[in-house]
Structure 1
Amino acid sequence: METYFYHTLTPIQWLLIIGLVLTFFIDLIYSIFYLRKFKSKEKTYIHSETIPVSIIICAQNQAQYLEKNLTGLLTQDYPEYEIIVVDNGSVDDTEDVLIRLKNIYQHLKSTKIPIDEKFKHNKKLAITIGVKAAKFDQIIHLNPNSFTYSKTWLQNTVANAQGKLYNAYSNFESQKGFFYNFLRYDIIKHTIKLASFTNANKIYAGNSFNMSFLKSDFLANKGYAGNAHFEAGYDHILSLDLAKKSKYTFSTNPDSKITIDTKNYYNTWKTINKHYFRSRKYIPLKRKLLLDLEPIAQFLFAVLLILALVKTQLYFALLSICIARFFIKGYCFKISARHLREENLFLSSYVYVLLRPLYKLLFYIQSQIYSKRS
C-alpha cells in the first residue's frame, strides 16, 4: 500500500489529491472564520440607555400585513418613538387600516405617494420620503411583513444600534415542511456569512427587514444618489455607502430578531435573493473575491472528489477527508444555529447543504442576464 501511494500515483493523480486537500483547507478556514466572527461583537444590552427613534415602513398594497403586524410594533415597551408608514400608491385598504390604527396609537403617522402614470418610481423614493419626514435622527427600517412577538425588541435594538449603521437577524417562523425549512436554512447561512464579514469590518450587504441608520448619514449621502433608478439595493447599496460614513455592526442576538410573515414566503425569499444578486456589482472587487472564494472552493472540492474516486484507489483517504469535512462544518453550523435558537434545522442541514449551491447558481445566472438587459 505504501509503495502504491508514494510511487505509482501519476502526475494527474497527484494534482487531484493536492487540489482536493487545498480546497478542503480553504473551506475549513472559512468555517473557522465564521465560527470566530459570527458573534464576536455582541455586547450586553444596556436597557437604561434610550434615545428617540423613528421607524419607517413602506407599504404598497399590503394592508393585510399592516393590519396583522403593526400592533406589535406600536405597543413596544419604549419611552419615545414614532412609526411612519409610507403608503406607496396603494389601491387596497391600506389607507383605511392606517386611519383606524392612528385613532388608537398617537405615535403612528403616515404619508402617501399618489399614483402617477407619468412618474414611475421604486421603493427608494418611498424610503427617502419616510426618512425626510422622520422627527428623530436614529432611523429603523422595517417591511410591512416584519413583526415581533417581544415587547422589548425596540429596546434591545436601539441599545446596539444607536449611532451606527445596524443590521440584524430576521427569518421566517419555525414550522414544519421540508421546502419551507430549506428557505429558513438558506437565510440562516446568509446571516452567518453577512454577520461574520460585517464583524470583520468587511460589510457587503444589508437587511431591509431589520436595519437601522442615522438620518444625518442618509442625508449626507444624498440618499440613493447614483442608484435611485435601480430596483434593488435599498438595503445592500445603502449599507455599503453608509458604512463609509459611520461605524457599523450586525446583531445576531435572538432578542433583536425580526420575524418575517409566512404568507407568500416563497416570493419573499425569492425577492431577497434576487435583490442581493442584482446588487452584487456594487460590492468592492476585493471583497467580492473573498465572498466568492468559498463557493468556488466547495464546487472544486466536489468535482475533484468525483475525479479522485474514478482516477485513484485511495478510497480510505478520500473517505477520511469527507468525514472530517462533514463533522467540522456540521459542528460550526450547529454552534451558530444554537445561538440563533434555530437548533431544529441542524440535522436537515446535511441535506440542505447539497441543494443550496444549485439555486445560488441559478440566481447568479439570472442576475447576469438581468444586468446585460439593463
Structure 2
Amino acid sequence: MNERVMQFRIGMFVIVAGLVLTMLIVWFGESPALLRDQVYLRARYADAPGVLEGVAVRKSGIRVGEVAAIQFDHRPNQPDGVLVTLAIEHKYSIREGSVPRLSRSLIGDVTIDLLPGTGQANLQLGRTPADAPIVEGEVAADPSKVVAAAMQAFDMVGNTLKTINEAADGLAKLSKNAEHIDDFLKTWTRSGQNVSAASQGIDQFLKTNEDEFRTTIANLKKVGEKLNNTLTPETQDSLKTGIARFSTATARLDAQLADVGPLLKDLGSPVNHAPTTDFGQSVRRFNRVVADLELLSASLRNRKGTLNTSGSIQKLLTQPDLYDNFNTMALNASQALSQLKAVLTSFRAFAERVSRDPSAISRGVLAR
C-alpha cells in the first residue's frame, strides 16, 4: 500500500512539473502571440538599420505591439526595400495616414513610433500577416550622424572665430603702423621733388648738347646704312653657310672627344685601375713588360750599377759549357721519367691483377 501511494505522489509531481514547464515555455517562448488577439500592419522602408524581431512598436509613447517579421520587398514593379510586419494588439486602433517612423538612439536601441494620422477613420488592419496592408514608413535621422555634423559645425565655428581673431590682430597692427604712413608720405614727397630736380637737370643737359646729339645720331644712321650695304644677301648666305659649317665641325669635334674620352680616362687612371679600351690594355701590358725588363736589368747589375759578370744569369749566357751541362741534365731526367713511366705501367697491371684476384699472390707463393 505504501509503495502505491509513493508511486501516485511521484506521478502527480511529474505531471505538475510538466504542466509548469509547458506554461513557462508557452509564456516565455513564441507561443504567447498565439494567445493574444493581434492584427497586422506591414511597413515598407528603403533601409531598416538595426531592426530585429521583437522590437517594440509604440504609439504616443505607449507600447502597442512589436515587430513580428522582417523580409525583403520582392514585389514586382517596386524598388528594393524592406517589409517589416508589425503585430498590433487588437484593442488599439490606428488612424488612417499614420506613419511608422523608425528611430535609433545614440546607444543603438531601435524603436518604431506610429506617428498620428490625419484621417478621420481607423486603418483596416489584417488578421494575418499576408492580409496586412502596406504603408510607407520613414527613417529618422541617425543621432550619430547628427552628432558628427554638429561637431563639424563646431569646428567651422572655431575656425571662424580664429579667423576673426587674426583679423583683429591684423587691424591692431595696421593701427600701430598708421603712424609710419605719414613718415612714408613725407619721404615719398621728397623723392618726387628730387626726381623733378633731376629731370630738369637732364632737360638742361639735352638742350645744351642738342647739336652734338644730332651729329651722333646722324653718324649712327650712316653706320647702319653702311652695315646694310655690306650685309648683302650673298654676304648673309655666305655667313650663314660658314656658321653652319662651324656648327657641323663643332659637332664632329664633340663626337671625337666623346670617343677619345674613355682612352684619356684609361691613360689618366691609376695603375691598379682596369682599363676599358684596347689601347689602355696594350699600354698596361707594355708597362708590365717594361717592369719585367727593369727587374731583369736590376738582377744583371751589381751594387755599383755596372754589369755583374760573376752572376748566375751572366755565366749562363757567357759560358756554353754550363748550358750544355744543364741540357744534358734535362735529357737524363727525361730518360729517367720514360723508364719510370714503364715501371709505373707494370706496377699498375700488377695492381689490377691483384685487385681482380687477391688469391693469386698466395697461389704464386705456394707454387714456388
| TM tier relative to shorter chain | under 0.3
TM-score (norm 2): 0.17
TM-score (norm 1): 0.17
